Structure 1
Amino acid sequence: MLDYRIINRLDSHAEGSHLVTWPGSPLLADPQVSACRILSEMAARAENSVADTVFGCAPFTRITLIPLKFWLDGDALTQALRPLFNTPASARLLLDVTAEAPGLSVALRYLFNLEHSLMDLGLRAPQPDAVRLQQIDVWCQPEQSATLKTQLRQQQAISHGMVAARRLADLPSEQCTPQFVVEEAQRLCANIPALRCDVLDENAIVEQGLGLLHAVGKGSARPPRLLAIHYDGVETGPVRSYVGKGITFDTGGLWLKDGAGMYTMKYDMCGAANVLGLMLSIAALALPVRVMGVLALAENAIGPNAMQPGSVARACNGLTVEINNTDAEGRLVLADAIAWASQRHPQTRYIIDMATLTGAVVKALGYELSGLMTQDEPLRAALTAAGKQSGDEVWSLPLDARLKKQTESAIADLCNTPGNNAAISASAAWLLHYFCPPAIPWAHLDISGTALWREGGKSVASGRPIPLLIQHLLNDLQR
C-alpha cells in the first residue's frame, strides 16, 4: 500500500515533491512555498482552470494549482488529478486539503489506486526510469487532522481491496483460471487471522448439488470452483453475504460470441474479484461484523462436454433451469451460489450479488452507474444512499412479477433467458430472485458498465463496487 502522512507543517520531505494546492490556500504563505516566484502568476490563472508547471518551482519538482470550485466536486477533482499522474514527476505528493472538499474521499481513493499499474503484471518489458508515486503527504490545519485520519484510513483500506481485485481481473485468462483465483485468494488471506477460505472442487460441486455451476464449467479443461471466504470480526451475530460471478473467460459456450464480443471476456470474473477485494477491505478496517464472500468460478468454454442449448440443469435448491442460451451463463453460476449461501447461513442479514451480467444494463445506464435490482425497499434505499455518499452510484431498475413470463419454461421450472429478448437485465435478476429465500433481503448489482475503467480506447478493471459496499456496510453497522 502507498504510504501516507498527515502533516501540519512542511519539513525536508517536501523538497522534490509534487505540490498540489489551490489558490488562496494558507499553505501558500509558508516560506518554502512563497519562495516560488511563479506562484503569483499561477494563482491568477488557476481561478478557473488548472495551472501546472515543472519549471521554476524549486524546492518542488512540480506545482499544480487546482481551482477551488473543482475541490467541491469529487469527479471534477479526480479528473483534474488524473492526467497529472499518467506520467508522475515525483515519487512524493504533497497534497493540500485545507479547502472544503466534499469529493476528497473519491480523489484519495484514486490516488491510493495508483499502487496498481498494468506494468505490475510483469507482461511488458520494465521501464527502469519510470517514476511511481510512493508517498503522499497530506497537509492540513491541525483541527482537520482527526477527521482526516479516519478518512485516509478508510480510503486506503478500500483501495487495498480494489487494487487486489483489479490486479486479479487484469490478468490474462490463461493464467487466471478458477483454480488460480482460489490459490490467489488463499495466498492473500493466509496472513489475516480473521479470514478463512473453504473450497469446493468439481467433485464437491456435483456432490452438493450445484448443477448450474457444474453445467457451466464442465465444458472446460479448467474445472469450476466455489470459494467461500469467511470473515469473523465478532464471534456471534448475523452474517452478511456477498456473491460474485467469476466466469474467468466467457466464449459464450456453444452460443459462441464473435471476436469483438469476446475480447474483454477475461473481465467476466470482475464480480468474484471484487468480492475477494471487498473481504480484504473489511479485514483491513477490522470491522466488528461477520461476513461471507462467495466466488462462483468457472470458464464458459466450448468442448465435447459443453452444455447445450435446450439442456436442463438442477440447482442446489432443487429448482431446474432450461438453458436456452449458453451465453447467459453468469446468472446460472450466480443462482447456485446465492442458493448455496442462503443454505449455509439461513439467518443471513442480507445477500448482495455482483456481476458483469448483461450488456443491456450498459445500454440503459451507461458506464457510470451500476444497475440495482431488488424487491427489498429498505435495502434499495440503503444501497442508493451509500452510492451517493461514496461516489460509487447505483440506479434502480424494476423487479416484480410483471417479469414472470420472461423466465417461464415448458420443460423446466425456469429458463435462463427470455424468448422475446426484452428487459434482459431485469429478466436476469428475476431469475436470480427465485434462488434467495423470501425471508432474506437480497439485491443484485449489474456492474457490466462500471466494473471496467475505459480510457484512451482501452479497458482495465476499476474495482467498483467495493467503495459502495464498504460505505453500505459502515452505514449498516451504525444502525
Structure 2
Amino acid sequence: MITCELMTTLAAAKPESHLLARPSCAQLPDTALIREMRELTSVADTRFGCAPFARITLLPDALWQDALTDGLVNALRPLFAAPVSENVVIDVSHIHDTVLVQVLRFLFNQAHKLSDLQLKKKDDSTLRIRHLAALCLPEQRERLAKIIQQQQAIANGMIAGRRLADTPSDRCTPQYVVDEAQTLCAAFPALRCEVLDEKQIVEQGLGLLHAVGKGATCPPRLLAIHYDGTNDGPVRCYVGKGITFDTGGLWLKEGAGMYTMKYDMCGAANVLGLMLTVAELKLPVRIMGVLALAENAIGPDAMQPGTVARACNGLTVEINNTDAEGRLVLADAIAWASQRHPQVQYIIDMATLTGAVVKALGYELSGLMTQNEMLRDHLTQAGLRSGDEVWSLPLDARLKKQTESTIADLCNTPTNNAAISASAAWLLHHFCPPTIPWAHLDISGTALWREGGRSVASGRPIPLLVEHLLADIES
C-alpha cells in the first residue's frame, strides 16, 4: 500500500524524492537547471544536478488542465515504468479536478504489478513507490484530504479487481473467484457473501447460467456480495459478467482471439472491487453485487447452437451462438438480482460483452445503454467528473427484430450481425422488470489497459461507479 501526505512547502519533501511539477510552480528552486527546464515546451526530465531530489520532471502546464485526453497520465506512464525513488512529490496546487483524480488513481495503482502474482522470477532490485506527497496551498488541505482518501479507496478496489483479472484462468476458476472474494470481504464486517453452487443454480432456475457453465470441468457459481452500510432503505445492485475463460464453446474462437479471454471476467472482478471500495469508505447505503461466474468451455456437456434454455424469470432463449455467452449469464444474474430484494433502487451491469463496442467507441469510452434518462444523465456526468467516461448508444424497440426467435421467446444474437452491442443490451433489458431502472455498461474497450502490444486489467469502471454512487448519496 502506498502512503500519502499533504504538504504546503517543498522543504518538507523526503530526500531523494521524485518531484513532478508544472513549469510555472512558484516553489521550484531558482537555479540555472530549473530555468533551462522551464524553457522547454515538452516534458523536461532530469536525474542529474537536481539535489535534494533524485529526479525532477516538469510537465507542460496544459497537461495539468487536460481533462479530455488523459494527457498527464499518459506522460507519467513511461516515467514510472522504472521508478528511481520510493517517494514521489507531486504539485497539485493548480490542476483540473478531473485530472487530479485520474493522476491520484494512477499513482496509487502503482501498488500492483504483474510480478506480485509471483508467476515470474522476482527482481528485488526494482524500486516500488511507497510514499506520495501532494504539494498544495494551505487553504486546499481539507478539500484535498477528502479527495485523496476517496481516490485511494477507489484505487484499492481497482487493484483487487485487477489482480483477480490478471490471474491466469487455469487458477482463476469460478470457485477461485468465490474463495478470493470471501477472503477479501472478511476484512470488512459490513460485507457478507452468498454463494450458489451448480446444484443451487439449477434448483433456483438459472438455466442460462447453467447452460453456459455445464460444459466445463470447473462448475459455475453465482456469488452475491451484500453490503449493509445502513439498516434499511433501497438496495443498489451491480451485476458483473464473470466468464473466467471463454473458448467460444462449440462456436470456437481462433487462437488470437482467445489469448486475452482470461479477462472475460473483468466485469465480475470489478464488481468485487467496487464492493471493497464501498466498504472501505463506509458509505451509508445498502448494496448488492452479483458475480455471474462460469467457464465457457468445450466438452461433452457443452451447450450446442440451437439449444433453448430458460432463465430464472421464465423467459426462454434460443442459443444460436455459443460465443455470445456473456449476455446469457448476465441475463440470469440481472433477473435473479431483481427478485432477490423487494427494494431495488437500480441495477447496473458491466461486462466485456462485445468487440463491436470497441469498433464504435475505441479504448477510452465505455458503452452505456439504458432506457432510463435519469440514470443515463447521472452516469454520463459521473463519467466526466471521474475521468472514467461513458458514451450512450441507442436502446429502443427498433432493435426488437435483432432478438426474435421462431422457437423461443428470444435469441441471443442477431442473425444479420448488425448493431451487435445494442442488440445484446436489448436482450438484457427483458430480464430487468420495467419498474426498476437499469443500465448496461459494455466495457470491452476500457476494462484493459493496452500498451506495447500487451494487455493488463485497468480496473475500470470502478471510478465511474463510485463517483455515481457518491453523487447519488449526496442528492
The residue type equivalent to 2:46 in the other structure is: T
**Given the alignment of the two structures, is residue 414 of structure 1 paired with residue 410 of structure 2, yes or no?**
yes
In 1, Cα distance between the equivalents of 2:62 and 2:327?
A: 43
Contact 1:347 1:440 in 2 (8 A): no
In 1, Cα distance between the equivalents of 2:342 and 2:321?
A: 31
In 2, Cα distance between the equivalents of 1:356 and 1:24?
A: 42
Match of 1:64 among 57, 77, 81: 57
In 1, Cα distance between the equivalents of 2:427 and 2:315?
A: 11
CA displacement at 1:419 relative to structure 2: 1.1
CA displacement at 1:334 relative to structure 2: 0.2
Contact 2:13 2:89 in 1 (8 A): no
> 1:169 maps to which residue?
165
Contact 1:373 1:426 in 2 (8 A): yes
The residue type equivalent to 2:462 in the other structure is: I
Q: Which moved more, 1:376-385 or 1:97-106?
A: 97-106
The residue type equivalent to 1:178 in the other structure is: P
CA displacement at 1:24 relative to structure 2: 2.6
Q: Deviations over 1:95-148 (max 9, x none)?
A: 111223331111111111111111111111111110111100111111110111
**Given the alignment of the two structures, is residue 328 of structure 1 paired with residue 307 of structure 2, yes or no?**
no
**Given the alignment of the two structures, is residue 51 of structure 1 paired with residue 47 of structure 2, yes or no?**
no
**Given the alignment of the two structures, is residue 469 of structure 1 paired with residue 465 of structure 2, yes or no?**
yes
Q: Deviations over 1:393-415 (max 9, x none)?
A: 11111111111111111111111
Normalised to the residue count of structure 1, the TM-score between the two structures is 0.97
> 1:350 maps to which residue?
346
In 1, Cα distance between the equivalents of 2:419 and 2:345?
A: 29
Structural mapping, 1:33-432, within 5 Å: 33-34=29-30, 37-45=32-40, 48-74=41-67, 75-102=70-97, 103-432=99-428
Secondary structure of the residue that 2:217 maps to in structure 1? coil
**Given the alignment of the two structures, is residue 26 of structure 1 paired with residue 22 of structure 2, yes or no?**
no
The residue type equivalent to 2:293 in the other structure is: L
In 2, Cα distance between the equivalents of 1:63 and 1:308?
A: 60
CA displacement at 1:27 relative to structure 2: 1.6
In 2, Cα distance between the equivalents of 1:446 and 1:99?
A: 34
CA displacement at 1:9 relative to structure 2: 3.0
In 1, Cα distance between the equivalents of 2:156 and 2:367?
A: 24
Contact 1:27 1:96 in 2 (8 A): no
Secondary structure of the residue that 1:26 maps to in structure 2? coil
In 2, Cα distance between the equivalents of 1:448 and 1:434?
A: 22
Contact 1:68 1:99 in 2 (8 A): no
In 1, Cα distance between the equivalents of 2:392 and 2:23?
A: 40
Q: Which moved more, 1:62-71 or 1:352-361?
A: 62-71
Q: Deviations over 1:56-94 (max 9, x none)?
A: 111111011112111111411112211110111101001
In 2, Cα distance between the equivalents of 1:334 and 1:179?
A: 18
Q: Deviations over 1:333-369 (max 9, x none)?
A: 0000000000001320000000000111111111111
The residue type equivalent to 1:255 in the other structure is: W
Contact 2:243 2:295 in 1 (8 A): yes
Paired residues in the alignment total 472
**Given the alignment of the two structures, is residue 7 of structure 1 paired with residue 32 of structure 2, yes or no?**
no
Contact 1:244 1:275 in 2 (8 A): yes
In 1, Cα distance between the equivalents of 2:96 and 2:387?
A: 13
In 2, Cα distance between the equivalents of 1:13 and 1:380?
A: 44
Q: Deviations over 1:399-445 (max 9, x none)?
A: 11111111111111111111111111111101100100000000000
In 2, Cα distance between the equivalents of 1:191 and 1:372?
A: 33
Secondary structure of the residue that 1:14 maps to in structure 2? coil
Secondary structure of the residue that 1:27 maps to in structure 2? coil
CA displacement at 1:10 relative to structure 2: 4.1
Residues 63 and 402 from structure 1, CA distance in 2 versus in 1: closer, same or farther, beyond 3 angstroms?
A: same
Q: Deviations over 1:359-396 (max 9, x none)?
A: 11111111111111111111111111111111111111
Secondary structure of the residue that 2:253 maps to in structure 1? coil
In 1, Cα distance between the equivalents of 2:333 and 2:406?
A: 25
Contact 1:185 1:276 in 2 (8 A): yes
In 2, Cα distance between the equivalents of 1:419 and 1:346?
A: 37
Q: Which moved more, 1:212-221 or 1:66-75?
A: 66-75
Q: Deviations over 1:165-219 (max 9, x none)?
A: 0000001000000000000000000010111100000011011110000000000
The residue type equivalent to 1:100 in the other structure is: I
Identity across matched positions, percent: 70
In 1, Cα distance between the equivalents of 2:396 and 2:12?
A: 62
The residue type equivalent to 1:18 in the other structure is: H
Residues 14 and 37 from structure 1, CA distance in 2 versus in 1: closer, same or farther, beyond 3 angstroms?
A: farther
The residue type equivalent to 1:50 in the other structure is: V
The residue type equivalent to 1:65 in the other structure is: L
In 2, Cα distance between the equivalents of 1:314 and 1:248?
A: 22
In 2, Cα distance between the equivalents of 1:278 and 1:439?
A: 25
Q: Deviations over 1:286-311 (max 9, x none)?
A: 11110000000000000000001101
Where does the alignment leave 5 or more consecutive residues of structure 2 unmatched? Answer: none
Where does the alignment leave 5 or more consecutive residues of structure 1 unmatched? Answer: none
**Runs of 4+, deviation exceeding 6 Å:** none
CA displacement at 1:37 relative to structure 2: 4.5
Normalised to the residue count of structure 2, the TM-score between the two structures is 0.98
The residue type equivalent to 2:54 in the other structure is: T
In 2, Cα distance between the equivalents of 1:469 and 1:435?
A: 21
In 1, Cα distance between the equivalents of 2:373 and 2:94?
A: 37
CA displacement at 1:25 relative to structure 2: 1.5
